[in-house]
Each structure stands twice: as structure tokens, then as C-alpha cells.
A and B are shown apart, each in its own frame.
Chain A
């Protein structure tokens, strides 16, 4: 964990003359914080703060994996129903949650002041929202300068990625999270990933309505009309996904599959935050630049 953050700090320090702000931050010890959402977990870790407790650590590693989790951090159980006795025993100064578990909030409030942050709101701008949320969290944790650095660095990554991709022929993209052999999620413009595509000047091929979380759950056959698109599958990819299948089928006949405009992206949590988006932008750019065939729109 330290290594990643050091690099982050270095970059931030290079990008902006922020030294006075840092000094001011260091003056106050950050409060002990417990977090029951993965996106907010990533936010707090991106600020270089080690939380006292977070939810479902094993699954966070497998599905979100934005930052390594130090063994000192206590697992507080389920995101939907965190273990209250454990939370209370951590004696946190602050608990972070989302409106998603609003009905648990009165219980959390009795342990410590609880702040609820929504990155997914009906307005469909999770990236912008998560930057705002990061700033708000940083204010609570006395790490506003770090938050600014993280956001600035993410912006810089987006700008650099946009520049490196500019002028290349990149087809409109389908961002897919395969569920099984026959179904996939497709992330729309109002998802975190969709927002990143926008920032990179890329086109999202998906134009159908999406749900509250910014994706559509569809059968593979729904992808057939997108002949000109490229598809990027976000890990983890289940073993029976058509991507791994060898037999003849609709998937193999789809024109973007035949043309080889298919790539994979590392594990990324679709409901993450600014750092998740930045990491996504980097892996997306790398994949698009490395893979010749993806660009031949």
C-alpha cells in the first residue's frame, strides 16, 4: 500500500506546489474512521489514511482491488449489515456509509457520527459526484490537500490519456461485465466507466436505457446491432463467458469479434470512486494503445 501512495504523493507533489497545504494537514491527526462501502473505502485509502475497519475485505480484494488492504484493518462484516458490536469495539470517530444502507444508519449513528455519501444519484454523473464526495470526506478527515492532489492527478491522467488517444481511430466502445455464457452487463453513459469514456473523448456505443446503477443487463444477442463497435470485457470474467468459449456461435460471428475488436480490462469496481476511475482510464488507454486490432474502426 505504501508504495502506491508514495508514487501518488510524488506525482501530486510534482504536479502542484502544495507543500503548505500538506503541512497544515499533517498538523491534525486524522480521525479513526470505519467504512461500510467499497467505493468510499477506496476514497479513504486514496487519501493515505488507514481506516480502522472496512466491510468484506476478502471480496473487496477480489472485486475492487483499488488499493492493497493492510492486515491491521479490521473486517466489520457485511456491507448491508455490518457487525455493530465489532464497529462499536473499534471506537471510530466517524463512520462512512451510502444512502444504499440508509435503514442501518440510525444504528451506526449510535456508535459514531455517520456520514452518508451518494456517488450514484439519478443525475447520472458518478465521476463528478465521486470527486465531490472525496472532497467532502477529506474535509471530515482533515486531508483536503490530499484529496485535491488525488483529483488533480486523476484529471491529469484523463488529460494525458485523452491526448495520447487523440487522432487514433478508436471505435465506439461497449464496456461489458460478463455474467455467464449468455448474459452481460453493459455499462452506459451514466455509469462511472461511461463517465471516464467521456473524459477520454471516447464514444460509448451503448445507447439503450440503463438502470439506476448505469448499466443494462442483456443477452449476448443484444450486442449484434453494434457492428462498428469495439468491446472491452472487464474482469473478473466468468469461465463460461463466450469470450472463453471455442465453439461456433453468435459471439464468434459478431462483426466486432471477427474483426478482433475485443479486449479485456483488469478487475475494476463499477461503483468505485475517482481513483477507480483513474485506474480504469489508465488500463483502458493501455489496452487501446497496445492492441492494434482494437483501433481498426
Chain B
């Protein structure tokens, strides 16, 4: 049986590879007749453009696709095996995001480094971010949920930084957009000569470790009894996998999802043993990437700009991940207990006045204290009257948006019984963004009503999908996180395609995606208030249900709560809260993660208290973020959502490590 299923997966992988190669040959043949191939390969005639293209572009591109696909498949297999997590991959662990951030930073501040070697910069970035993620999750014994969460938030963090830097340096970044979207286009053999020895070295090292690594499937005790130093074995294996990814990413950019999909397909098609997957998954990866790349090349003729291969893998990979999720056995909800326990507990009677004071203080600071062309100033009198016109709407919108996000976060965490749920992490913000994107496709000048309807629908769809998926898989938190990852990647791919199509609306979309309170004026502030007021008053009425929901379905039923109705009502409310806040302050919604957390951490444990506390903290965070965004790089400005992410992620990372000790 074992042997049969293993050979079946080998046959499938070989079939896939054969199909890919056949297509490549057919396409190559249409460019250059078969009988000229040997000549073109060995001594291309300089007079024949087709032979030159064959020699310097088509052939190295094909080889690069094979190498990269195989390397990503291998890296994914190692990640998934060593971390005992079927969903670990270069994309989910943030390796690619780290490489991209390093490249953006180098492009802006140290361009000479790129002349020396783009690759070294990317490898350094990937290693740095991965090291950080491992350091965080080692505190929790590399638990799968912590790893994925740390990877996700690090990706979001690097992504936010990249967006911030792009906003401030738009002209530099066009090339990084290509790189971030993963282009396999070649004009010589340098990528092959760069990749081949490095990847072979890594593959050789992986082969050496293959036998010892098998013992990792045993429990830690029995493996230690065999005399293998597990710690070093793991670290060595992970290092190899990170290197493989970093080499690929540095050479061709971000090729998402191959590293996740190839090992998964290998596993699902019957390669159950690690050694089998070590062979089958790279074959799968190579076949998949060649197929996708051929498709991208074949279709790129119809675009004014080319279609980057990485964008296509993301477009195909995200739905694949969503489809794969229910077929995987989820890991346990290992994050929950440590996360929920509060550090210190103060009485709400003291906390609420404190938080209110804090809110008033930041609100006043945000309106009164600022920078002008003459330096720092505290506004008063006539100056205040002039500045209030700009600062009051921004501050009000930030306040309302942050409060709504705080409440939405509490609702989500209690609804999904998942302590790390938030609009950001679960991809609900992304759902809203896709909704807005659709409203832009439907209408050239979408009004606010249409935008609200479409964005609420987007939030609701994602949430319904999550819950349906969550109910089916018994509320596995890592699956919910991965849905968020898949959705974000999908949105990115759509945006990249939008840009590739040369659509002028793409710029508008990008500006909006950065998320900011910039466009707020008195009218929008009043409208946000009109929408937010009823939405903010509603959640406290669900306090009892929210107190009961985390106790589990059985208890809830015994206490007479109509689960379906309660879930539906809370889902709807969460969707509206998220949509309204995203419309107000953009799709970066970290206040929804930090607010509920901090509220719980300072001791607000009952649903009612946590709701109010999270709303207050969310509001404070967003006002602070808006204010910092205005003053830090004056006269330039950073979007508040972005600043909130830059504050929120370090908090979350710190929180993760602290709870582990």
C-alpha cells in the first residue's frame, strides 16, 4: 500500500513535469525549429535573433524555472517536516517578505550594495527575518501556531515598511515592483550559474540530513533516546531551507506558494514518507513552476506590460491553499491558554477613567501639538482655528475607526475562540479591499454608498467563509490565519495584474490601500460618526453571549444561547464594524489586534469591559498613529494605518516571546 501510493505520487509528479516540458518544447519549437536547437544551444548565430533568444533567454529561463521550482519544493518539504507543520512554507514564514524589505532598504539608502550583489542583500534580509521569527517561536518550543503567527505578522510588518518606503520613494521602487512580483525573464545564464551551485550544495546538505531528519517524526523523547541532537539537527535543516528560499528569491524575486503547494500535492498524492517527499516535491515544484511560467509567457502578449510569473503563482496558489486547508489535520489550539491569561489585573473602576484620560490627552495633543514650516508649535487662537479645519476631522476619523476596530477585534476573538484573531490577521481587511476594488471595476467613480455596500459584503464574505471553514475544522486557529495569508496574497496578485494591465486606476488603488485618514474632512467625519455610533453601541448588548461563546458550544447550548443566531448576528456586526473602519482609515487594521489584547492584558476580562477597553485603546492607538504619521517625517506624511502596524507588530512579537517564558 505504502509503496503503491508512493509510486503513484512519483508517477503524478513525473507526469506533471513531462507535461510542463512538453509544453515548453512546443512553445520553443514555434520560436525556433527543432533542428537548429543544438547549434543555438552551443554556438548561437549572432545574426539570428531567434537563436540568440533561444540561447540567452528562453533556455536559461526554462532552466531557472526548473531550478527555482525544485528548490522551493525542497525548501517547503523541509520546513513542513522539521516544523511538523503541514502549512509551513517560505511564503507563510515570511522569508520572502524579509528579503524584499532588505532589497527596498538597500535600493533607497545603499544602492551601491545592489551593484555589488542584489543577492547578498536579499539573503541577509531573509536570514535576519527568519532568525527573528525562530527566536520568537523558540520561546514556545516552535509550536506551529506561534511560527505561523510570527511569520504572518513579520510578513505584514515587512510589507507595511515596504509600502511606507514605496510611498516616500515612488520613482525608485518601480524596479522592486517587478522583483516583488517575481519575474523569471532572463537575458543571460547568470541566474543559472548563480543558482545551480548554491542549490546543488543545499540539496546535497539536505540529502545528508535526510536520514537523521526522519527521526523527527518520532516524539522528542524517543528521538533523543536514539542519540540525535535534535536541536542542532533542526536548526541545520531550517537553515538549509531558508538558504534555498533566499537564493531563489534573490535571483528572481518572490515566487509565492510553490513552496507550499508542491510538498502538499506530493503528500496528498501519496508520498507519505519524508524521504519520498524529498524527491517528489522538488519534481512537483519544478513541473508546476515551468507550467505557470509557460502560461504567463503565452498570455503576456495580450498585455501592454508583461505579466510577472510570481503574480500568476500567487493568483493560482491562494485558491489552492484555501482548497487544501480542510484536507489537512490541524494542529491543536496550543496558543490559547498562555495568551488569554492576563499579566496584571487592575479594577475596571480605575482602568476606565485612566483610559478615558489617555484618550482625551492624545486627542488634545493630536489637535494642538504639531509641526509647521517654522518648527514645533502648540496651536492656539487664530492658528488653532486654521489648523482645526484639518486636524479635527482626521483625529475624529482615527478615533472612530480605532474604536470600531477594537470592538471588531473583541467580537472576532470571542467568536472564533481564537486569541490572535483580528481583522488584519484573518484577512477581513483584505476582503474589504477586494470589495472596494470591485466597486472600482463596477463604476469609474464609485460613491460612498456603493463603496460601503461592497466593502461590507467583502468583509462578510470573508468572515462567513472563515466561520464555515472554522466550523468544519473545529475552529482550528492556524487554518484561519492561513486563510488570511491566502487572501492577502490573492489581493496582491490582483493588484499586480491591475498594474500589469496598465490600468491608471491602479495608482488610486495603491494610495487607498496604504490606508490613511488624509482624505477626512468635516463631511466624512460626520458621516463616519453617523455610521459608527450605532455600530459602536450595538456590541455591548451581546456581552452575555460573548462571555459564553469562548466556553464552547456545549456550554453555550446548555445556557440556552441560540448559537446559529448569535453567531450570525455577531458576524454581521463584525463585518459592518470592519468595513466602516476600513472605509474610514484604510485596510491596515492592527488596532483590531492590539486593542483587545491590551485590554485583556490589563485585566479587562469580561466581554463588556473588554469591549469598552478595546474600543478606547484602539482609539488611542489610531489617534497616536495618525499624529506620529503627521510629525515624524514632516512635511511628508505616513498613513495612520501603516504607523499603527509598525507599532502593533513589535507589540505582538514582544507579547509572543513574553508569554512563552
Give chain A's interface residues, CB within 8 Å of chain B.
Answer: 59, 62-63, 74-81, 83-86, 88-89, 100, 103-104, 106-107, 110, 179-183, 208-213, 216-222, 224-225, 227, 238-240, 242, 244, 247-251, 253-255, 258
Q: Which residue of B lies closest to A59 (CB)?
A: B171
Assess the B305–A218 pair: CB atoms within 8 A.
Answer: yes
Q: Write out, one digit per residue, whether chain B residues 540-582 have a CB within 8 A of any chain A CB (1) or not (0).
A: 0000000000000000000000000000000000000000000
* Interface residue from B49, B111, B188, B370 paired with A239 (Cβ < 8 Å): B111
B74-127 CB contacts (< 8 Å) to partner A: 111-112, 114-115, 118
* Interface residue from B52, B112, B179, B373 paired with A250 (Cβ < 8 Å): B52
New A-B contacts (8) at CB < 8 Å, excluding given A179-B174, A217-B305: A88-B390, A89-B386, A180-B178, A182-B187, A211-B501, A219-B183, A219-B185, A249-B190
Q: Write out, one digit per residue, whether chain B residues 36-68 have a CB within 8 A of any chain A CB (1) or not (0).
A: 000000001011010011011110000000000
Assess the A212–B508 pair: CB atoms within 8 A.
Answer: no
Cα(A247)–Cα(B175), bound, Å: 21
16 A-B pairs within 8 Å (CB atoms) are namely A80-B170, A80-B507, A80-B511, A83-B637, A84-B518, A89-B372, A182-B186, A210-B502, A211-B502, A219-B306, A239-B114, A247-B188, A249-B190, A250-B55, A250-B57, A253-B52
| In the complex, chain B residues whose CB is within 8 Å of the CB of A85 | 370, 372, 387, 390-391, 630
Q: How far is the CB of B455 from chain A (nearest CB, A)?
A: 16
Assess the A182–B183 pair: CB atoms within 8 A.
Answer: yes
Assess the A254–B52 pair: CB atoms within 8 A.
Answer: yes
Cα(A224)–Cα(B141), bound, Å: 54
| In the complex, chain B residues whose CB is within 8 Å of the CB of A211 | 304-305, 501-502
The answer to the question of B503 belonging to the interface, with a C-beta cut-off of 8 Å to chain A, is: yes
Cα(A107)–Cα(B636), bound, Å: 17
| In the complex, chain B residues whose CB is within 8 Å of the CB of A89 | 372-373, 386
B188-234 CB contacts (< 8 Å) to partner A: 188-190
Given contacts A224-B53, A239-B114, A255-B47, contact A182 B185 (CB under 8 A): yes
* Interface residue from A181, A209, A253 paired with B44 (Cβ < 8 Å): A253
Given contacts A85-B387, A211-B305, contact A78 B174 (CB under 8 A): no
The answer to the question of B504 belonging to the interface, with a C-beta cut-off of 8 Å to chain A, is: yes
B290-326 CB contacts (< 8 Å) to partner A: 304-306
Cα(A251)–Cα(B52), bound, Å: 10
Cα(A74)–Cα(B636), bound, Å: 12
The answer to the question of B474 belonging to the interface, with a C-beta cut-off of 8 Å to chain A, is: no
Assess the B634–A217 pair: CB atoms within 8 A.
Answer: no
| In the complex, chain A residues whose CB is within 8 Å of the CB of B372 | 85-86, 89
Assess the B44–A77 pair: CB atoms within 8 A.
Answer: no
| In the complex, chain A residues whose CB is within 8 Å of the CB of B521 | 106-107, 110
| In the complex, chain B residues whose CB is within 8 Å of the CB of A88 | 386, 389-390
Q: How far is the CB of B32 from chain A (nearest CB, A)?
A: 12
7 tightest CB-CB pairs across the interface, nearest first?
A: A211-B502, A249-B188, A219-B185, A250-B56, A239-B115, A221-B57, A220-B187
* Interface residue from B56, B168, B304 paired with A78 (Cβ < 8 Å): B168
Assess the B636–A78 pair: CB atoms within 8 A.
Answer: yes
The answer to the question of B29 belonging to the interface, with a C-beta cut-off of 8 Å to chain A, is: no
Q: Which residue of B lies closest to A210 (CB)?
A: B304
Assess the B175–A183 pair: CB atoms within 8 A.
Answer: yes
Assess the A100–B507 pair: CB atoms within 8 A.
Answer: yes
Assess the B174–A104 pair: CB atoms within 8 A.
Answer: no
* Interface residue from B55, B114, B187, B503 paired with A251 (Cβ < 8 Å): B187
Cα(A74)–Cα(B635), bound, Å: 9
The answer to the question of B167 belonging to the interface, with a C-beta cut-off of 8 Å to chain A, is: yes
Q: Which residue of A lies closest to B113 (CB)?
A: A239
Cα(A81)–Cα(B186), bound, Å: 37
Assess the A221–B56 pair: CB atoms within 8 A.
Answer: yes
Q: How far is the CB of A112 from chain B (nearest CB, A)?
A: 13
Q: Which residue of A lies closest to B503 (CB)?
A: A212
Q: How far is the CB of A27 from chain B (nearest CB, A)?
A: 31
Given contacts A89-B372, A221-B57, contact A81 B188 (CB under 8 A): no
* Interface residue from A183, A221, A239 paired with B178 (Cβ < 8 Å): A183
* Interface residue from B168, B169, B306, B386 paired with A217 (Cβ < 8 Å): B306
The answer to the question of B519 belonging to the interface, with a C-beta cut-off of 8 Å to chain A, is: yes
| In the complex, chain A residues whose CB is within 8 Å of the CB of B637 | 77-78, 81, 83
The answer to the question of B516 belonging to the interface, with a C-beta cut-off of 8 Å to chain A, is: yes
| In the complex, chain B residues whose CB is within 8 Å of the CB of A258 | 46
Assess the B114–A240 pair: CB atoms within 8 A.
Answer: yes
Assess the A212–B185 pair: CB atoms within 8 A.
Answer: no
| In the complex, chain B residues whose CB is within 8 Å of the CB of A221 | 53, 56-58, 185-187
Cα(A176)–Cα(B611), bound, Å: 57
Assess the B167–A78 pair: CB atoms within 8 A.
Answer: yes
Given contacts A110-B389, A250-B52, contact A183 B636 (CB under 8 A): no
Q: How far is the CB of A236 from chain B (nearest CB, A)?
A: 9
Q: Write out, one digit per residue, whether chain B residues 157-184 have a CB within 8 A of any chain A CB (1) or not (0).
A: 0000000000111110011001100010
Cα(A173)–Cα(B389), bound, Å: 52
Assess the B183–A249 pair: CB atoms within 8 A.
Answer: no
Q: Which of A78, A107, A222, A251 has the most CB of B within 10 A?
A: A78
Q: How far is the CB of A278 from chain B (nearest CB, A)?
A: 22
Q: Which residue of A lies closest to B302 (CB)?
A: A209
Assess the A179–B386 pair: CB atoms within 8 A.
Answer: no
Assess the A224–B114 pair: CB atoms within 8 A.
Answer: no
Cα(A248)–Cα(B634), bound, Å: 47
Cα(A81)–Cα(B114), bound, Å: 30
Q: Write out, one digit per residue, whether chain B residues 359-370 have a CB within 8 A of any chain A CB (1) or not (0).
A: 000000000001
Assess the A225–B49 pair: CB atoms within 8 A.
Answer: yes
Given contacts A78-B636, A80-B511, contact A59 B169 (CB under 8 A): yes
Q: Which residue of B lies closest to A239 (CB)?
A: B115
Given contacts A76-B635, A179-B174, A224-B52, contact A219 B390 (CB under 8 A): no
Cα(A221)–Cα(B31), bound, Å: 13
Q: Which residue of B lies closest to A269 (CB)?
A: B171
Assess the A239–B112 pair: CB atoms within 8 A.
Answer: yes
| In the complex, chain A residues whose CB is within 8 Å of the CB of B389 | 88, 110
Cα(A249)–Cα(B189), bound, Å: 7
Assess the A238–B112 pair: CB atoms within 8 A.
Answer: no
Cα(A247)–Cα(B56), bound, Å: 12
* Interface residue from B55, B175, B304, B635 paired with A75 (Cβ < 8 Å): B635
Q: Which of A106, A179, A212, A253 has the most CB of B within 10 A?
A: A253
Q: Which of A80, A222, A248 has the most CB of B within 10 A?
A: A80
| In the complex, chain A residues whose CB is within 8 Å of the CB of B178 | 179-180, 183, 217
B367-393 CB contacts (< 8 Å) to partner A: 370, 372-373, 386-387, 389-391
| In the complex, chain A residues whose CB is within 8 Å of the CB of B502 | 210-213
Assess the B187–A219 pair: CB atoms within 8 A.
Answer: yes
Q: Which residue of B lies closest to A76 (CB)?
A: B635
Q: How far is the CB of A159 from chain B (nearest CB, A)?
A: 32
Q: How far is the CB of B628 from chain A (nearest CB, A)?
A: 15
